[in-house]
Amino acid sequence: MFERFLKVLTSSVIKKQLMGLTGLLLCGFLLTHLIGNFLIFVSPEAFNTYAYKLTSTPLIYVAEAVLMGIFLLHLGLAMVLTIENKKARPVGYYMKQPTGRGSTFASSTMPITGIVIGIFIVLHIIHFKFGAHYSVTYGDVEMRDLYRLIIEEFQNKAFAFGYIVSMAFIGVHISHGFWSAFQSLGFNHPKYTTVLRCLSTIYAITIFGGFSSLPIYCFLQGVQ
């Protein structure tokens, strides 16, 4: 029974479906993360209070653990699948040309964009989650002044530029990954798949544009 379960779980189809499912969950996380971050545009108080409320509930540890689990599963599966794919063709072609009717820049660079995103996430957590701890008091409540940290970090032009470039990598990754996840999960429809592919591009542009607006805004805030 367990052996059967393990065989199913390690089959190419289920591995791809888990890859798609974790990818979609991460896409969902990115959108909520972006919406939360937009509070930076409202006011320092709105943003700091949001961050404070989010981190002051014990549920945050559960949420962080789940998110970490999803991310590690996505990363682990990506590594396993890529190694298997390389092994499937031990002798390469002398000449190989794409047909021009199938693969795209985004689809053929998924492992590369994925690695860059992985490195970005580690740096991102070090810089912001474990970055300098400033305090601010609104009313009677003392909380972390995350807003100040972000404004300060983005005064560094190279850092801000690196952030935007990383967002471009995420955008490219999502533009293929989003619709691809639906295909792996078994959803392909003569009408809706075309819509889904458009949606994939729109989602990628939204994530790239949305997150890129933050360093630009923060940089300009510091200049004033």
Partner 1 sequence: MSSEEKQLTLNLKVWRQKDGKDKGQMVDYTLEGVSTDSSFLEMMDQLNEKLVVENQDPVAFDHDCREGICGMCSLMINGQAHGPESETTTCQLHMRKFNDGDTVVIEPWRARAFPVVKDLMVDRSAFDEIIMAGGYVNVNTGNAQDANEILVPKEDADLAMDAAACIGCAACVASCKNASAMLFVSAKISQLALLPQGKLESDKRAQAMVEKMDELGFGNCTNEAECEASCPKGIDISNIARMNREYFKSAVVSKS
Contact status: 133 vs partner 1 (CB under 8 A)? no
In whole angstroms, how far apart are CA 28 and each of 15, 59, 73?
A: 20, 18, 16
State both tokens at 129.
């989650």
CA distance 145 to 45: 9
Backbone angles phi, psi at 135, to 5 degrees: -115, 155
Tell me the C-alpha to C-alpha distance, in Å, between residue 13 and each of 4, 121, 181. 15, 28, 12
What string marks each residue from 5 to 34 as x (binds partner 1 by CB under 8 A) or -? --xx--xxxxxxx-----------------
Residue of 215, 209, 216, 224 lying closest to 31 (CA atoms): 209
> Min. distance of Cβ 144 from partner 1 in angstroms?
41
Residue 80 CB, nearest approach to partner 1 (Å) = 9
- Cβ 166 to partner 1, closest distance in Å? 22
Q: Is 43 in the site for partner 1 (CB under 8 A)?
A: no
Q: CB of residue 201 vs partner 1: minimum separation in angstroms?
A: 15
Binds partner 1 by CB under 8 A, chosen from 32, 58, 59, 102: 102
Q: Which of 60, 104, 161, 209 binds partner 1 (CB under 8 A)?
A: 104
Q: Which of residues 61-100 bind partner 1 (CB under 8 A)?
A: 81, 84-85, 87-100
In angstroms, what is the minimal distance from the CB of 121 to partner 1?
Answer: 22
Q: Round to whole Å and give the CA distance between 20 and 23.
A: 5
The answer to whether residue 1 forms part of the interface with partner 1 (CB under 8 A) is no
168 burial (CB, 10 Å; 0-12 / 13-18 / 19+) is middle
Three-state secondary structure call for residue 66: helix
CB nearer to partner 1: pick between 61 and 187: 187
60-74 exposure pattern, b = at least 16 Cβ within 10 A, e = fewer: eeeeeeeeeebbeeb
Find the shortest distance in angstroms from Cβ 199 to partner 1: 15
- Residues near partner 1 (CB under 8 A) are 7-8, 11-17, 81, 84-85, 87-104, 107-108, 110, 176, 179-180, 183-190, 193
